[in-house]
DNA sequence: TCAAAAATGATTGACGTCTGTCTTTTTTAG
DNA sequence: CTAAAAAAGACAGACGTCAATCATTTTTGA
C-alpha cells in the first residue's frame, strides 16, 4: 500500500532509475520508446512525485513577495497582519514571505518597486492592484524574467498577471444594493452612496453594482454619490451637509474608506437612522455594527484571500495549475461576526 | 540564511547530534544540564524541525477517517464530494483520507462504527455529530487508544472529542432572524419556522437564535414551528395547510431539510410571497435564490469546514495546538453566490 | 578506588528525490 | 565493418531527520 516511488516506476518500465529520472525531469537524451514506457508506467502505477522529498533534495524553498500598501487605513493594517501571520505558518512548508510596503494608492510607486526586482530575488510576487500602464509593463517584465505575479484585492495589469485573487467589486456592490433594497421592503427611500473617488475603478464598480440592483425598485432613488477623496474632514463636512440638505435619506452605502468619520456622524443622528452598509470589518466598523449604528458590513475576508493567494503562488511556482479562487463578498450582520481573535487563522 | 538544522543546534549547544536528537525527540537518558543547553540552542537559533524531512525519514503518513452520513440529502452529498476532493489534494501531503458512510441521523449506528476502529486503523477521526451517550463512550474509547476525534457540523461527545469544527447554530438562527427582521423594516409580520424535529438540538438552537432576535421587535410574531420530520409530503401538507390557515404569514424560516418541497410550494404562491430564509446552498436551493423564490440562504461553507477540519486533524496528529477554527454562517443573497463550480476548492 | 550505571559520542543506513560523473551498451552513419 | 554518437545504466553524495547500535567517557556509590 506504499505509494510507488520512482524506483518502482523504473522497474515497471524496465529501465534504470537514471532513465526514469531523465524522463520525469525532462533532462533529454532519452529514446522516444523509453520515454513512452516510463510515461506509461507512471500512469499505470499512479506515480506522483513526492514533492517534499524533491524539495528537500534540491534544497528548494519558495521565496514570495507581497507588495502591500502602507497607510493608516485599518484595512491595510489588517491585511498586513494577516500576511505576517500566514507567513509564520507557512514557514514550515519552506515558504518564505517577504512583505514590502509601498505608498497606498500609488500605482507608479508600486511599478517602480516591481521594476527593481531581479531574477534571483523571488519566485513569485503578489501585489495589490492599481491602474497604471507602467504597472502593466513592470508585471510583464517580471513575467518575462520568469517571475509570475498575482494581483490582490483589486485586479490589474491585464493578462500580464498570472492570476487575480480578490472579490468582484460589482458583485460586492450588488450585494450591498440587495441588502439596502431588502431593508426597505416596500417602502420608498433615498440612498446616498459615499465613495473615495469616482476615478477609482473598484469604487465605480461597487457603485454600478449597487445601482443595478436598486434600479429594479423604482421607489428607491439613488442620490448623487459623495466623493470624499480619502479625507476624513471631507466626509464630516459633505455628509453633514448632505444629510441636512436632504433629511429624507433612508440608506447610506459607504463604498470606500473614511468610515470612522461616517460612524461618528451616524452616532449623532436622531432615532430613525438611515440603513447603513459599509465595507470591511475593522476595529472601527465592528463596534459600530455591534452597537447598531450601522446595519451590515460587506467584507472580503482578507484571511481567506491571503490564504488563497499563497496557495495560488505555490501552485504557480510548482508549475501546477493554480486552484480556482472563488472569493465571494461576505455579509456580516450583528449576529454572525467572527470571534474577536478571528481573522480566520490560528490564535 | 539557510534554516538551522539539528546539526547546527548540536554544534551550538556543544553536544553531539545524538544528544540533540535525544532531547528533541524526548528519548530520555540525557543529563539535565545538557537538556537545558540544547533547549537554549534551539531557542537561540530559532530551530524548527523540518517536518517534511522528518515525515520522509520515518515514513510517516497521516491516515484520517471521515464518518459521513449517507442519505439523499443534497447537503450530505455535497459534503461527501467536498471531502473526496480535498482528499485528492492532500494526497501530496501524505494525508490519506478514507470516507466511511453511516446512516444519517443515527447516532447509535455511528457509535457502532466508531467502536470498531482499531488502534492501527488511523491517526484521527472526524464524524458528523449526533447526540448519544454511546457515541460519547465510543469517542472516549478512541481517545483512550490515542486516536483523537473531531466533531463536524454538529458538536457532540462533549469533552471527549478533541475539537469541534462547524458553525454555532444559535448564531445561524440569529442571523436568519436578523435578516427576516431587516426585511420587515418597520412592518409587522408573522414568521413561520419550519424544522425537521424539535428534538434535534441543532434545530432547536437555530430556532432559539431566530426567536431571540425576532423578539426584539414586538410587531413580529413567531408562529408555532412546523415539524416535518424529514418527510417531504409532510412539508407539502403541513405547510400548505398552515399558509391556508394563516394567510398573513410574511416570513418563513426553514431550519432543516426538505427544501425541495418548500420551494415547490413557494413557487405556486401568489405575488407578495413571504420572505424566505433557508439553510445550505444546494442544487435545489441555489436556483430558487437566483430566481427570487427565496430571499436568502444561510450556508456553512462545507468546503471551508472540511479544510479546517483536515488542518485541525493534521495539527492534532502532529501534536501541535490545532488552529482556532472560526466557521461563521455565511449569508448568500441573489448576488453574492459563488461561481457555479465553486465549493471553494480547485476546479 | 573500582565497578556499575548513566550519559554522551560516533557511526550507519534508511526515507525519496536530485544531480552529477563515469562506464557500458546500443544505434547510427560513413 | 568500424568509429562516433546516442542512449542507457551504475553509482555516489547530498538534503534533514529518524532510529538503532556500539563505543567511549563521565558520574555515582559502596
pLDDT recorded at residue B344: 36
Same domain flag for B160 and B277: no
- Pairwise CB contact (< 8 Å): B56 & A48: no
**Pair B25, B119 in one domain:** no
pLDDT at A1: 65
* Cβ separation A323–B177 shorter than 8 A: no
Is the Cβ of B48 closer than 8 Å to some Cβ of chain A? yes
With contacts defined as CB-CB under 8 Å, which chain A residues touch B337? Answer: 328
Specify the pLDDT at position B324: 83
Contact B185, B196 (CB under 8 A): no
Residue A249 — φ and ψ, nearest 5°? -70, 125
pLDDT in tens, A70-103: 977 889 999 999 999 999 999 999 999 999 999 9
Same domain, B160 and B192: no
- Quote the CA–CA distance of A333 and B181 in Å, as a whole number: 12
Q: Is B215 on the interface with A (CB under 8 A)?
A: no
Q: Is-contact B228 B260, C-beta < 8 A?
A: no
Contact list in B for residue A271 (CB cut-off 8 A) is none
**pLDDT of A220-236, one tens digit each?**
999 999 998 878 888 88
> Quick check: A331 and B331 CB within 8 A?
yes
Distance B13 CA to C4 C1' (A): 29
Which of A86, A166, A213, A333 to probe the B interface (max B CBs under 10 A)? Answer: A333
Question: Smallest Cβ distance to A347: which of B48, B324, B335?
Answer: B324
**What is the band of A324 on the pLDDT scale with cuts at 50, 70, 90?**
confident
- Residues in chain B with CB shorter than 8 Å from the CB of A333 are 175, 178-179, 182, 331
Contact yes or no for B345/B90 (Cβ under 8 A): no
pLDDT (mean) for A115-134 = 93
Percentages helix, strand, coil for chain A, rounded to the nearest 5? Answer: 45, 15, 35
Q: What is the dihedral of CA A243, A247, A252, A254, to 10 degrees?
A: -10
Higher pLDDT, A2 or B80: B80
Protein-proximal positions, strand C, CB < 7 A: 6-11, 13-21
The CATH number linked to A19 is 1.10.260.40
| DSSP β-bridge partners for residue A150 | A126, A163
Same domain? For A150 and A88 the reply is yes
Flag whether A335 is in a domain: no
Note whether B268 and B317 are same-domain residues: no
Chain B, 73-112: which have a CB under 8 Å from a chain A CB?
Answer: 91-94
Q: Mark whether B112 and B190 lie in a shared domain.
A: no
Per the domain annotation, does B339 fall within a domain? Answer: no
CATH (domain of A213): 3.40.50.2300
Long-range contacts, stretch B268-271, CB < 8 angstroms, 24+ apart: B269/B243
- State the SS3 of A263-319: HHHHHHCCCCCCEEEEECCCCCHHHHHHCCCCCEEEECCHHHHHHHHHHHHHHHHCC
Q: Are residues A286 and A173 in the same domain?
A: yes
Answer yes or no: is pLDDT of A345 > 50: no
Domain-embedded: residue A332: no
Q: Within an 8 Å CB–CB cutoff, is residue A338 touching chain B? A: yes
pLDDT at B186: 82
Range of the domain at B29: 6-49
Contacts of residue A330 in chain B, CB cutoff 8 Å?
Answer: 330-331, 336
What DSSP state is assigned to residue B104? Answer: T
For chain A, the residue count is 347
Count of structural domains, chain B: 3
Strand pairing class (A189-195; A249-254): parallel
Rounded to the nearest integer, the mean pLDDT of chain B is 92
Q: How confident is the model at residue B1 (pLDDT cuts 50, 70, 90)?
A: low
Q: Tell me the residues of chain A between 267 and 326 that have a Cβ less than 8 Å away from chain B.
A: 295, 321-324, 326
DSSP string for B166-211 = S--HHHHHHHHHHHHHHHTTT--EEEEEEES-TTSHHHHHHHHHHH
Task: Classify residue A62 by its DSSP letter.
Answer: E
Rounded to whole angstroms, the Cα distance separating A3 from B88 reads: 14
The SS3 of residue A320 is coil
Please state which of the ranges A36-45, A53-62, A304-313, B231-240 shows the lowest mean pLDDT: B231-240
pLDDT for A347 beyond 80: no
Between CA B149 and CA A310 the distance in angstroms is 29
Q: What is the pLDDT of residues B110-149, one digit of tens each?
A: 999 999 999 889 999 999 998 889 999 999 999 999 999 9
**Same domain for A271 and A234?**
yes
Q: Which of residues 153-172 of A touch B (CB under 8 A)?
A: 171-172
- C-alpha span between A246 and A236 (Å, rounded): 15
Indicate the average pLDDT of chain A: 92
| B342 found inside a domain | no
Measured CA A19 to C1' C27 distance, in angstroms: 17
Whether the pLDDT of residue B345 is over 50: the answer is: no
Higher pLDDT, B28 or A220: A220
Kindly determine whether residue B182 and residue A184, on different chains, have CB atoms separated by under 8 Å.
no
Q: A220 with A145, same domain? A: no
Contact B324 A342 (CB under 8 A): yes
The pLDDT-based confidence of B225 (bands split at 50, 70, 90) is very high
Residue A326: the pLDDT is 85
pLDDT of the residue at B173: 98
Residue A81 resides in a domain? yes
Nearest to A329 among B174, B178, B336 (CB): B336
Q: How far apart are CA B324 and CA B331, in angstroms?
A: 22
Q: Specify if A240 maps to a domain.
A: yes
Q: Is B210 on the interface with A (CB under 8 A)?
A: no
A144 and A193, same domain (yes or no): no
pLDDT at B21 over 50: yes
Q: Give the mean pLDDT of B69-80.
A: 90
Q: Indicate the SS3 state at residue B163.
A: strand
Q: What pLDDT was estimated at residue B97?
A: 96
A53 touches strand D (CB under 7 A): yes
Judge whether A340 lies within some domain.
Answer: no
Number of A:B CB contacts under 8 A? 124
- Domain shared by A156 and A173, yes or no: no
Q: Which pLDDT value is given to residue B197?
A: 84
**B192: in domain:** yes
Q: Are residues B162 and B178 in the same domain?
A: no
Amino acid at each position: 500500500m506504499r505509494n510507488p516511488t520512482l524506483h518502482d516506476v523504473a522497474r515497471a518500465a524496465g529501465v534504470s532509475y537514471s532513465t526514469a529520472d531523465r524522463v520525469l525531469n525532462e533532462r533529454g537524451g532519452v529514446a522516444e520508446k523509453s520515454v513512452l514506457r516510463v510515461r506509461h508506467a507512471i500512469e499505470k502505477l499512479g506515480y506522483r512525485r513526492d514533492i517534499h522529498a524533491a524539495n528537500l533534495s534540491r534544497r528548494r524553498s519558495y521565496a514570495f513577495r507581497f507588495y502591500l500598501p502602507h497607510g493608516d487605513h485599518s484595512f491595510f493594517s489588517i491585511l498586513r497582519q494577516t500576511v505576517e501571520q500566514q507567513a509564520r505558518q507557512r514557514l514550515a512548508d519552506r515558504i518564505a514571505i517577504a512583505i514590502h510596503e509601498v505608498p497606498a494608492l500609488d500605482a507608479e510607486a508600486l511599478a517602480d518597486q516591481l521594476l527593481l526586482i531581479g531574477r534571483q530575488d523571488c519566485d513569485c510576487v503578489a501585489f495589490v492592484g492599481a491602474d497604471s500602464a507602467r504597472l502593466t509593463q513592470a508585471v510583464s517584465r517580471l513575467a518575462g524574467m520568469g517571475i509570475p505575479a498575482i494581483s490582490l484585492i483589486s485586479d490589474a495589469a491585464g493578462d500580464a498577471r498570472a492570476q487575480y485573487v480578490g472579490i468582484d467589486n460589482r458583485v460586492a456592490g450588488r450585494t450591498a444594493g440587495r441588502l439596502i433594497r431588502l431593508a426597505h421592503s416596500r417602502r420608498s427611500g433615498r440612498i446616498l452612496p459615499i465613495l473615495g473617488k469616482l476615478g477609482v475603478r473598484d469604487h465605480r464598480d461597487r457603485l454600478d453594482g449597487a445601482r443595478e440592483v436598486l434600479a429594479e425598485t423604482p421607489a428607491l432613488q439613488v442620490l448623487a454619490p459623495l466623493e470624499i477623496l480619502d479625507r476624513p474632514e471631507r466626509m464630516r463636512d459633505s455628509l453633514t451637509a448632505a444629510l441636512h440638505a436632504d433629511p429624507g435619506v433612508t440608506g447610506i452605502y459607504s463604498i470606500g474608506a473614511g468610515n470612522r468619520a461616517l460612524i461618528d456622524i451616524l452616532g449623532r443622528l436622531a432615532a430613525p437612522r438611515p440603513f447603513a452598509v459599509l465595507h470591511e470589518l475593522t476595529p472601527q466598523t465592528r463596534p459600530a455594527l455591534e452597537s447598531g449604528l450601522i446595519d451590515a458590513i460587506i467584507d472580503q475576508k482578507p484571511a481567506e484571500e491571503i490564504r488563497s493567494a499563497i496557495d495560488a503562488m505555490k501552485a504557480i511556482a510548482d508549475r501546477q495549475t493554480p486552484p480556482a479562487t472563488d472569493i465571494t463578498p461576505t455579509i456580516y450582520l450583528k449576529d454572525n461576526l467572527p470571534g474577536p481573535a478571528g481573522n480566520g487563522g490560528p490564535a
